[in-house]
Each structure stands twice: as structure tokens, then as C-alpha cells.
Structure 1
Amino acid sequence: MFSFEQLRGFVTVAEELHFGRAAERLNMTQPPLSRQIQKLERSIGVTLLDRDNRRVELTAAGRAFLVEATRLLALADAAPDLARRIAEGTTGIVRVGFTAASTFGVLTDVLDRISVALPQIELDLYEMVTREQVEALLAHEIDLALARPPFDPDLFGSRLIRREELVVAVPAGHPLAALDRPVEVGDLAGVPLVMHSPTKARYFYDLVVGLLPVEHHNVAHTVSQVATMIWLVAAGRGVAFVPRSAARLGIDGVVHLPLRTREAKPVELHLLWPRDSTNPALPHALAALEELDPDG
């Protein structure tokens, strides 16, 4: 096996095509440099240099090997600095889980802030519902989540990053769209609903039934994704309760109406991370997100 010292000697000779000048650059004498090259050639089993008393030239094998030797030396030179930056948390990977609904304006803000503050951090994205994000955080498959409450505070650190209104998405031309006031519970009597799944969209399901007396015999469809709900609304299959940010989808044929609720902004989105994370980049990512305004 060859050494980096032998690689460096070979690259220097290949650049100078002169053993004397190469030895001078390496602060050594010519005989030990010649022995380094000979050991390297024996190690890899090919002749890298044609040399005599007047000239030194690279063989075809030597030209090919020079490319890889230069690359290996560059990696070796960069490795200590890279290791230090990874240990400091300024270089590395942060794996971010997010709910589909969090892409409506929040996710891009999170990514932009981390990228500006930490340009050497690579961000890997994973779309998951909150339950899946919690499981992935516990398994250390992701480092940071954009998820809905509640969370176990003993296991997770969390920070509120967005709160917003719950609105009613209705088909264009629906009678509710003619109201000159927020929609109230009584206005929804007998209206077909596109409802959140109680298992796959548990946060929104609990939020809606906690705020409104949903009549389950009016539920026409149950789905897990907000975007799917709005497409069903556009098709005239019912009305749906969605976060205000969902209007950014811009789906034709859908109007988003204010809804009177006990809380003005009941929909919450949190940053979530495992308290026992060992990723040194995570604290830096969280610091970059400290100025996020929950009210947008």
C-alpha cells in the first residue's frame, strides 16, 4: 500500500519533471525522493515515470495516475478542516421533516433562513404527517420537524413558528360565499363536508371537532391531505375546514371564507426536535430560525 508521502512526492516530480527541483520544493534531498517514487511504483505495479540523466517524463499510466493522486491529496488536505467544521456544526446535513400543509408559505421560509445563515449545511427534506415525523425523530431518521402538537416535552424540544386562522373552503358560487360576515356553525347545518381523517390527520380532526359541533352524517368524504380536500371542494363534493395558508394553492373554483371560532388563530405549527440529538448542526439551524414570527 502506498502512502500520502509517496503520492505527494510523485505529484511534485510530475509537476516539475525534474527530481532536483521537486526535492527542493519538498525540503528534502533527491535520493530519498527517488526511493519514494520507486516504492510507489512497486506498490501499484506499474512504471509511472520514464527517467534518465537528461529528462523525466510521465508514462501513459503515470498521466492517468496523476489525476487520481492529485484528487486524493486534495481530499486528504481538506479532510481535517471538513471534520472540524462538521464537529462545530457549520458543515453537515440537517434532515427536515414537514407536513404537506406546512409547504404553504412556512417551509420555504425555514429553508431560506437556514441556507443564508449556514450555506455549508445540506438540507434533506422528508414529507410526512406529524405521527410519522415523531416516529422518525425518535429513530433519529430526521433531525428537525415542522409538525402539529401535542408533543412529549420530555422527549422533544419545540417552538411555535406559525399560527393562523381556520377558514372554510367552498366551491365558487356556493350560498355561503354570498354571506357578508364570517361563517358560523349554524350556517353549516346540512352542508356536505370534506373532513380530515381522524387517524392520518389527527391534529386537524381534533381541532375541528373541538371548535365546531360537526354532524358526522354530513361528512361526504374523509381524507388526510389538505390539498386533496381543496380539490374535492373544487369538484363540488362539499366544503372543508382548512388553514388560511391553503389559499396559496390557488386552486380554481374555490373560495376561502372566514370562520367564526373561539380562538382567532387556532391552527398551530411547531418546530420539533429530539432532545437527545447528537447532530452538531442542529443547534445552529435552530439559532437561524429564532426570529421566525408565528403570526407571519
Structure 2
Amino acid sequence: MFSWIQLESFGAVAEELHFGAAAARLNMAQPPLSRQIQLLERELGAVLFERSSRKVELTAAGRTLLPSARRILDLCSKTELEVRRGSSGDAGAITIGYTAIAGQSALPGILRLASRHLPGVSLVLREAVSTDQLDGLSRGSIAIGLLRPIVARRGVVSRPLMEDRLVAALPEGHQLATGKGVMLKELDGLPLMMYSTAEARYFHDLVMRLYDSAGARANVTQFASQVPALLAFVAAGLGVSLVPASAMGFAPPGVVFEELVGPAGLADLNRADLDIAWSESNTTPAVTRLLEIIPGDTTRR
């Protein structure tokens, strides 16, 4: 089988039609260049050049080989470049998991950063709840997750990405929609659109802690795993819900929001922050570079 150096030598001579000029172009002496051409001709069983004291010309076999040789050399050069870019983080693919709200709030900024700083990297986006993202990070099916800080997972590293809090989502025209905020106690007994315990345990438990802190009774009448579904229930007038403040700009018509007020210590309890997470064992150069350009410097394990 012929080699890269043999094809490169052939291509240079075919384009220069002069062994001396081809050797200078390849930064090598002429005898080794002639040797490579001889080895290639022996491998192919065909004479590729007609040589005389005055000129060098391609034979019919040489003219047949030249287009294919150029394609092979171009492919090899492209492959070498892609490998180099991949090893430096300038190329490759990154699968990013994100929650529905993160897809509206944090994800667009990350996509803009990637487009600006890593134009050769392709991004694959997968919407998933936080628990499914953690599983994906552990399996290696996603490389980066935009998720809520639910539980620690061995081998998964995370850091804060965006501060958030819960606010009350109310049907338009609701008696509590005054623009002055809602006390948690005022939500006592109202139909509550609630997070699923299986898929949205983080938010479910946070809502229950907030209700308990105020001595309010959570009258759960509907469950959903994602915020948009809860907001749809609210817009239909079926009840109230507590959702991340980052969802306020993406709510459907018919939903209004009120800040939660009281009791003392509510601000410390009412934290619904978003983390960025990745696997320690599944970090490619492209993933490392993307993490470097995304703001945030506190790491959790």
C-alpha cells in the first residue's frame, strides 16, 4: 500500500513538473524524492512520469492518479486539522441537557458564547428534568447539564450558574394579584399546582418547606414535572403555583406573578438557583473550553 509521503511526493512533482522544484517545495533532497516516486510506481505497477533531460511529463497513468491523489491528500490534511482542533477544543460536539426554564433563561447566553468563542464546535440540545440530566451525566449521554442543585452525584461536578427564587403564579384577576406581594399564609388551602415528586423532587420539597415555614396547608390538586405545564394549569384558572422567577418572562397569557413575602428568614429559604454540571470522567477539550468561558467560579462536588 502506498504511503502519505509517496502521494505527497507524486503530487508535488505532478504540479511542478520538475524534480528539483518539487524537492525544494517539500524541503527535502532530490534523491529521496526520486526514491519515493520509484516506490510508488513499483507499488502501483505503472510508470507515472516520462523523464528526459529537458522536461518531466505525466504519463496516462500519472494523469489518472492525480485527481485521486489530490482528494486523498486533501482528506488527510482535513483529518489532521480536525484532530488537532479536536484535541485543542476548537472542534467536536457537546451535548447539553437543560430544564425547560433554563432553556429560556440561561441557555441562550451560553449558545451565544459558544458561537462567538467556539464556532467549530457543534451543540446538541436535550431538554430534560434535573434528575434525568444527572443520570445522563453519569452515563455519558450528555456532557453538560443546566439543572437544579438536587443531590450530589459521585463523579459529577457542579457550580452555581444563576441565582433564582420562587414567586407566586396566579390566574389573572385573582384576589391576591395586588402587585404588593403575597404572604405564604395567604396561600393556605388554595388549589395548588404542584411539582411531581418523581421528576421534580427539588422544587416539590422546596415548595413544601416554604409552606411549612409559614404554617400554610398545601392543597395539591394537580401535578406536573415542568414549569410550563404548571403555568398552563394556572392560566386555565385551576389554581396557583410557585415557580422560578426566571419563568416570569415566558408565561402564557392569563398568568400574573407576585413576590413571596414573610415570614422572617424567607429570603434564605427561598432559593431556587440553577447549576451547571459536568462529569469528571467525560470531559473533552471542547467541554473544558466551553466551561472556561461560562461565568461562574464556585465548584460543588
TM over 0.5: yes
SS in 1 for 2:278: strand
Aligned equivalents of 1:187 and 1:275: distance in 2?
A: 45
Partner of 2:193: 194
- Note the C-alpha offset of 1:12: 1.5
Aligned equivalents of 2:91 and 2:30: distance in 1?
A: 36
Question: Residue 156 of structure 2 contacts residue 280 of structure 2 at CA under 8 Å; is this kept in 1?
Answer: yes
Aligned equivalents of 2:257 and 2:235: distance in 1?
A: 11
Aligned equivalents of 1:279 and 1:185: distance in 2?
A: 46
Q: Deviations over 1:170-220 (max 9, x none)?
A: 22222222x24211234334432221111111111111011015645x433
Partner of 2:30: 28
Question: Residue 95 of structure 1 contacts residue 124 of structure 1 at CA under 8 Å; is this kept in 2?
Answer: yes
- List aligned pairs for 1:154-169, cutoff 5 A: 155-169=155-169
Question: Residue 146 of structure 1 contacts residue 271 of structure 1 at CA under 8 Å; is this kept in 2?
Answer: yes
Structure 1, unmatched stretches of 5+, are: none
Question: Residue 197 of structure 1 contacts residue 224 of structure 1 at CA under 8 Å; is this kept in 2?
Answer: yes
Partner of 1:4: 4
CA gap of 1:146–1:34, structure 2 versus 1, over 3 A, is closer
Partner of 1:185: 184
Structure 2, unmatched stretches of 5+, are: none
- Note the C-alpha offset of 1:131: 1.1
Question: Residue 16 of structure 1 contacts residue 22 of structure 1 at CA under 8 Å; is this kept in 2?
Answer: yes
- Note the C-alpha offset of 1:242: 0.8
1:228 matches 2:229? yes
What code does the residue aligned with 2:144 have?
A: L
Q: Deviations over 1:272-296 (max 9, x none)?
A: 2334445344444333234589xxx
Partner of 2:279: 274
Match 2:73 to one of 53, 67, 70: 70
- Note the C-alpha offset of 1:250: 4.4
Aligned equivalents of 1:267 and 1:195: distance in 2?
A: 15
SS in 2 for 1:145: strand
CA gap of 1:138–1:180, structure 2 versus 1, over 3 A, is closer
Question: Residue 8 of structure 1 contacts residue 73 of structure 1 at CA under 8 Å; is this kept in 2?
Answer: no
CA gap of 1:215–1:292, structure 2 versus 1, over 3 A, is same
Question: Residue 97 of structure 1 contacts residue 127 of structure 1 at CA under 8 Å; is this kept in 2?
Answer: yes
Aligned equivalents of 2:200 and 2:163: distance in 1?
A: 17
Aligned equivalents of 1:224 and 1:48: distance in 2?
A: 71
What code does the residue aligned with 2:10 have?
A: F
Number of equivalences: 284
Aligned equivalents of 1:31 and 1:90: distance in 2?
A: 38
Match 1:288 to one of 290, 293, 296: 293
- List aligned pairs for 1:147-158, cutoff 5 A: 147-152=147-152, 155-158=155-158
1:245 matches 2:250? no
- Note the C-alpha offset of 1:266: 1.6
What code does the residue aligned with 1:251 have?
A: P
Q: Deviations over 1:140-180 (max 9, x none)?
A: 33332222123327543322222222112222222222x24
TM-score (norm. length: structure 1): 0.79
- List aligned pairs for 1:199-214, cutoff 5 A: 199-213=198-212
Partner of 2:58: 56
Aligned equivalents of 2:106 and 2:297: distance in 1?
A: 10
SS in 1 for 2:180: coil
Partner of 2:124: 124
Identity of aligned residues (%): 32
Q: Decide which moves more: 128-137 or 67-76.
A: 67-76
TM-score (norm. length: structure 2): 0.78
Partner of 2:258: 257
CA gap of 1:116–1:23, structure 2 versus 1, over 3 A, is closer
CA gap of 1:192–1:136, structure 2 versus 1, over 3 A, is same
Aligned equivalents of 1:90 and 1:76: distance in 2?
A: 14
Match 1:38 to one of 38, 41, 44: 41
Partner of 1:137: 137
SS in 2 for 1:212: helix
Aligned equivalents of 1:28 and 1:129: distance in 2?
A: 65
